[in-house]
A and B are shown apart, each in its own frame.
Chain A
Amino acid sequence: MIEVEHLTKRYGTVTAVDDVTFRVNKGEILGFLGPNGAGKTTTMRVLTGYMPATDGRAAVAGYDVFDHPIEAKLRTGYLPETPPLYPDMTVREYLNFVAKIKGVAPKDRAARVDQVMTRTWVADMANRACGKLSKGYRQRVGLAQALIHNPEVLILDEPTAGLDPKQINETRRLIKALAGDHTIILSTHILTEVEQTCQRVVIINKGKVVAEDTPENLTRRLRGSATMFVQVDGDRAAEAQAALARVDGVVRVTSADASGTAFEVESESGRDVRRELASAVIGGGWGLVELRPMRLSLEDVFLSLTTEERQEETVNA
Chain B
Amino acid sequence: MRNALAIAHKELRAYFASPIAYIVIGFFALLFGWFYIGILDWFVRQGMQMGQFGMQGPQNLNINQQMIRPLLLNMTVVFLFLLPLVTMRTYAEEKRSGTIELLLTSPLTDMQIVIGKFLGAMALYSAMLAVTLVHFGLLFVYGNPDWKPLAAAYLGLFLFGGCFISVGLFISSLTKNQIVAGAATFGVFLLLWVVDWIGQSLGPTGESLTKYLSMTEHLDDFVKGVIDTKHLVYYVSFITFGLFLTMRSVDAERWRG
Contacts and interface: CB of A to CB of B under 8 A. Distances in A.
Query: Size range of the interface on A?
Result: 20 to 34
Nearest to A54: B255
B61 to A, nearest CB: 48
Interface in B93-123: 97-109
Interface in A87-143: 87-89, 93, 97-98, 100-103
Contact of B105 (A11, A16, A48): A48
Interface stretch (B3-11, B73-81, B189-197, B206-214): B3-11
A88 B17 contact: yes
Nearest to B116: A101
Contacts of A100: 3, 6
A11 B101 CA distance: 18
A86 B257 contact: no
Contacts of A48: 105
Nearest to B255: A52
A48 B104 CA distance: 9
Nearest to B18: A88
Contact of A103 (B10, B107, B256): B107
Contacts of B230: none
A288 B7 CA distance: 70
Interface in A45-94: 45, 48-52, 69-71, 73-74, 76, 78, 80-82, 84-89, 93
A102 B257 contact: no
B107 A88 contact: no
Interface-central residue, A82, A86, A97, by most chain B CB under 10 Å? A86
Contacts of B45: none
B14 interface: yes
Nearest to A44: B105
B252 to A, nearest CB: 11
Given A73-B106, A89-B13, A89-B17, A84 B3 contact: no
Given A11-B256, A86-B14, A101-B106, A50 B99 contact: no
Given A78-B105, A88-B18, A97 B10 contact: yes
A86 B97 CA distance: 8
A145 interface: yes
A82 B7 CA distance: 21
B99 A84 contact: yes
Contact of B10 (A76, A78, A82, A86): A86
Interface-central residue, A45, A50, A76, A81, by most chain B CB under 10 Å? A50
A45 B255 CA distance: 12
Nearest to A69: B107
Given A88-B14, A89-B17, A98 B105 contact: no
Contact of B101 (A70, A84, A103): A84
Interface-central residue, B10, B100, B107, B254, by most chain A CB under 10 Å? B107
23 contacts: A42-B257, A45-B257, A48-B105, A50-B101, A51-B254, A52-B254, A70-B107, A73-B105, A73-B106, A82-B97, A84-B97, A86-B10, A86-B99, A87-B97, A89-B14, A97-B6, A97-B9, A97-B10, A98-B102, A98-B106, A100-B6, A101-B108, A102-B106
Given A49-B105, A84-B98, A98-B102, 11 more contacts: A42-B257, A49-B104, A73-B105, A78-B101, A82-B97, A82-B98, A84-B101, A86-B97, A88-B13, A89-B14, A97-B9
Ranked nearest first, the 4 interchain pairs of A and B with the lowest CB-CB distance are A88-B17, A84-B102, A73-B107, A48-B105
